[in-house]
C-alpha cells in the first residue's frame, strides 16, 4: 500500500525543460562552446555537478563546473522571475494528492530553483521533504535522489509513489522500487522503453488522483 508520494519538479509541476535547454544552449554559444544535437537529452536528469561537468568536457564550455553551474543557475533564476511557467493543472493535482498522502520532491534542479517554484506555486507547505540531486552522489537515472526522499519521509521506497515525466526520471524512480506514474513530457517525450517501466501512464498531470496510488 502506498504511504507517500514523491514528485519530480521539472516537467511535472513547472514547464522548465525548454527553459533549461534554451539557457544552456545560448550560454554555450556565447562562450564559444558547441551545443551538440543530443546535449539536451543527455543532460536531462543529471545533477548540477554532472551537467556542469558535461558542459565543460563535452560541449567545450570554458570554466570550472562550479563556475558553469553558477552562470546557468543565475540565468535560470532571471528567466523564472516571479512567475515560473507552472504546468496547467499541476497545482490542483498536487493539492489532491496532498489531501491523502505526505509528499516529497525529488528533483534534478538546484535547491534555489526548487524553492522559487514552490514559493511561486504556493505549494511550499505541502512538500516538507525536498531533495535536489545536487545533494546525492548520482543524478537520475540512478535512484539516489528518490531513495533519499523516501528516507527523509520515513517510508520504505516500495511503499512510495513517484510522478515523473522524463526517460531518466522514470528509470530513476523505478530503480528506487517505487510505483511510477508517468506523465510524458510533450517537449522531450520519454522513449518507449522507459515508458514501459512505468506502472501508469497519464495524458496530463491534471489526470492525477489519489486513487491511482491507492489502487
**Active-site residue list:** 8, 10
d(CA 132, CA 106): 6
CB atoms within 10 A of CB 164: 32
CA atoms within 13 A on the CB side of 85: 11
Amino acid at each position: 500500500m502506498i504511504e507517500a508520494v514523491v514528485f519530480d519538479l521539472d516537467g511535472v509541476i513547472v514547464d522548465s525543460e525548454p527553459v533549461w535547454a534554451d539557457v544552456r544552449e545560448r550560454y554555450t554559444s556565447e562562450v564559444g562552446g558547441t551545443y551538440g544535437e543530443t546535449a539536451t537529452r543527455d543532460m536531462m536528469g543529471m545533477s548540477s555537478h554532472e551537467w556542469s561537468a558535461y558542459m565543460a568536457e563535452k560541449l567545450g564550455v570554458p570554466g570550472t563546473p562550479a563556475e558553469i553551474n553558477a552562470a546557468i543557475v543565475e540565468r535560470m533564476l532571471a528567466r523564472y522571475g516571479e512567475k515560473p511557467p507552472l504546468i496547467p493543472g499541476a497545482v490542483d493535482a498536487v493539492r489532491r494528492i496532498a489531501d491523502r498522502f505526505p509528499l516529497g520532491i525529488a528533483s534534478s534542479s538546484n535547491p534555489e530553483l526548487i524553492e522559487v517554484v514552490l514559493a511561486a506555486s504556493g505549494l511550499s507547505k505541502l512538500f516538507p521533504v525536498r531533495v535536489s540531486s545536487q545533494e546525492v552522489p548520482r543524478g537520475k537515472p540512478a535512484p539516489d535522489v528518490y531513495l533519499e526522499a523516501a528516507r527523509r519521509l520515513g517510508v520504505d521506497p516500495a511503499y512510495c509513489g513517484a510522478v515523473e515525466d522524463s526517460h531518466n526520471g522514470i528509470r530513476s524512480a523505478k530503480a528506487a522500487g517505487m510505483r511510477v506514474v508517468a506523465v510524458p513530457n510533450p517537449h522531450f517525450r520519454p522513449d518507449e522503453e522507459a515508458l514501459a517501466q512505468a506502472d501508469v501512464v497519464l495524458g496530463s498531470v491534471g489526470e492525477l488522483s489519489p486513487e491511482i496510488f491507492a489502487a
